[in-house]
Amino acid sequence: MGVALATLVAAGAMPGGDALFAQQQGAAAAPVSATSFEVDGIDVDVSAKSGEAARMGGFRQAQRLGWKMLYSRMTGNPMTAAPTLGDSVLDGLVSGIIVEREQVSSNRYIARLGVTFDRARAGQLLGVKGQVLRSPPMLLIPVMIDGGTARTFEAQTPWLRAWARFRAGASPVDYVRPAGVGVDRLLLNYGQTQRANRDWWLSILDQYGASDVLVVEVRLDRDYPGGPVTGRFVGRHGPDGIVLTRFALRTSASTGLDAMFDEAVKRMDAAFGGALRDGRLKPDPALRFNDVADVDLAEAIIPEQPATAQATLHVTVDTPDSATIGTLQSALRLTANVTNVSIESLSIGGVSRVEIGYTGDLATLRWALDQRGLRLDEGQGGYRLRRRKEGEAPIPQPAPPLPQPAQGPTPQPAAAGGGPGNLLPAGFSGRN
C-alpha cells in the first residue's frame, strides 16, 4: 500500500476525468487559498471494483461529509440539519481535496482527507440556509512558557508557528494574527497579557483593528531533554483573562511537538467556537471608544438632507446551477439605485426567490437593470428577473421627476393694459 502526505487534489480531478495531483511530501500541509473554507480530519473507508474507483468514491464521500461539517461550524446547527446537496452541486462548491494520509489497495481505499470549499459559492448557500456565525475581530496572542521563560512574538516559537499554520477560514472566530514584526514584540509581550487596564488595551486593539483579545498559553513540562513533553494549555478571553478552556496533551518525544500543537490549536478553536455560540465570547463593553457620547448634538448645526424613499421588490429567477446565482448577485449589487440584495430561497436547477432593496421608482429600477442586461417582467404571479434576450430593444431611460416649484409670494392678477401688474406682453389684450 502507498501512503501520500499532504496531497492537494485539484477540483478537476473528479470522477469522469484523469486525476492530476500536485504533491507536497512532508508534514507541512498543502497551501490553500485564503478564498476557501477548509474542513479537515475526514476519515473514509470505501471498497470498489478497483483501487482508483475506491479512491474516487472516497473523495465523493469526503465532499458530502465535509459539507455537513462546514455547515455545522458556520451556522452552529447540528450536521443533520445541513441541506442535502447532490454530487454535481458539490463539485461546483469544492475547490480541492487534501489527502492527509491514504492507503490504496486493489479494491479498497482508506484515508484521512480534507476538503476545501470555494468561499464565495459555499458562502451563498450558508447565508441562505442559516445565519452565519461569526465573532467580532479577536486579537490573538500565543504565549509559550518553556524552561521558565515566557515568550510571545520575541521569537518564532513552535506554538506561534502552529497558529500560523492553522487555516481559520472555516472557523466562526475572526482571528487577528499579528505578523510578529516591528512593534508587535514590544506591545504584545507576556507582561501585556497580564494587565487588566482597559485604557491601555483599548489603544492596542485600535491599532490592530480588533474588538477584544484572546490569549492562548501553553506551559511545557519536559521529562528530560529530547524525551516526553507535557503541554498544559489555557485559552483566556479579555483583559481580565477569563478562562474559556483548559486541557493537557502529551507527546512521547520532542519531535512530536508540532503534531501536539496542531491538535491543541484545533481544540482551542473548537472551544472558542462553543463559547461564541453560547454567548460567552463577546467583546467587553469597556473596550469601546465613547467620544461621540460627549458631543452636544443640540448645539450642532446639521443641514437637513432630503429623505430618499426606499422600497423592496421580491422577484423570481431561474437558477440552473450554482454559478448563476453568484453572477446574478454580482450584477444586482453593481446596479444603480440597488441598496440591498438577499436570497430568500435557493433552488439549484429550479426557480429561486430574491429580495431587492432599491431607491427611487420602479421605472428607474427597471431601466437600471436593463443597463446590466437584466429584464424585469411583471405577470400574474409577481415579478420575474431574466437575462435580456438577443434582439430585444433596450428600455428607454425614464424622464427625471419634475422639480418642485419654489415657494414664493402668490402672483397678483394682471391689470388691464400694460401697467406694471400686467404679466402679458405690451399691446396684447388677452382677448380674441
3-state secondary structure of 269: helix
Tens digit of pLDDT for each residue in 377-392? 887 778 888 888 888 8
Q: Examine the pLDDT at 337 and tell me if it is beyond 90.
A: no
Residue 326 has pLDDT above 70, yes or no: yes
* pLDDT greater at residue 11 or residue 74: 74
Phi-psi region of 349 (alpha: psi -120 to 50; beta: other; left: phi over 0): left
Q: Where are the alpha helices (DSSP H) in 50-133?
A: 51-75, 87-93, 119-129
Max avg pLDDT among 9-23, 341-355, 364-378: 364-378
Per-residue model confidence as pLDDT tens digits over 202-215:
888 888 888 899 99
Which pLDDT score, from 0 to 100, does residue 395 have?
86
The pLDDT value given to residue 3: 36
Residue carrying the nine cell digits 479494491 = 107
Q: Which of 180-184, 226-230, 414-418, 421-425 has the highest mean pLDDT?
A: 226-230
Q: What is the pLDDT of residue 107?
A: 92
Mind listing the domains of the chain with CATH numbers? 7-129 (no CATH), 138-277 (3.40.50.10070), 310-387 (3.30.70.60)
Residue 224 has pLDDT above 60, yes or no: yes
pLDDT in tens, 158-197: 999 999 888 776 678 889 898 888 888 888 999 889 988 8
Does 308 score more than 80 pLDDT? no
Give every CB contact of residue 32 below 8 A, 6+ residues apart in sequence: 8, 38, 96, 98, 116, 167, 169
Q: Give which of 72, 71, 9, 69 is closest to 42, Cα–Cα.
A: 69
pLDDT at 167: 76
Give the global pTM.
0.49
What average pLDDT does range 346-361 have in this prediction? 82
**Greater confidence, 380 or 232?**
232
Pairing of strands 21-23, 108-118: unpaired
Would the pLDDT of 307 be above 60? no
Residue 404: pLDDT band (50, 70, 90) is: low
Residues pairing with 411 in the sheet: none
Note whether 338 and 312 are within 8 A (CB). Answer: no
Quickly tell me which residue has 492527509 as its cell: 100
pLDDT confidence of residue 415: 46
Cα distances (angstroms) measured from residue 234 to each of 195, 215, 243, 266: 17, 8, 7, 13
Which H or E run includes 142?
Answer: strand 138-146
Residue 23 has pLDDT above 50, yes or no: no
Q: Could you tell me the sign of the dihedral formed by the alpha carbons of 170, 133, 139, 273, in that order?
A: negative
Of 27, 161, 126, nearest to 343 by C-alpha is 126
Could you tell me which of 384, 423, 137 has the C-alpha nearest to residue 283? 137
What confidence score (pLDDT) does residue 416 get? 45
Residue 218 bridge partners (DSSP): 144, 233
Amino acid at the residue 427: G
Average pLDDT over every residue of 23-33: 33
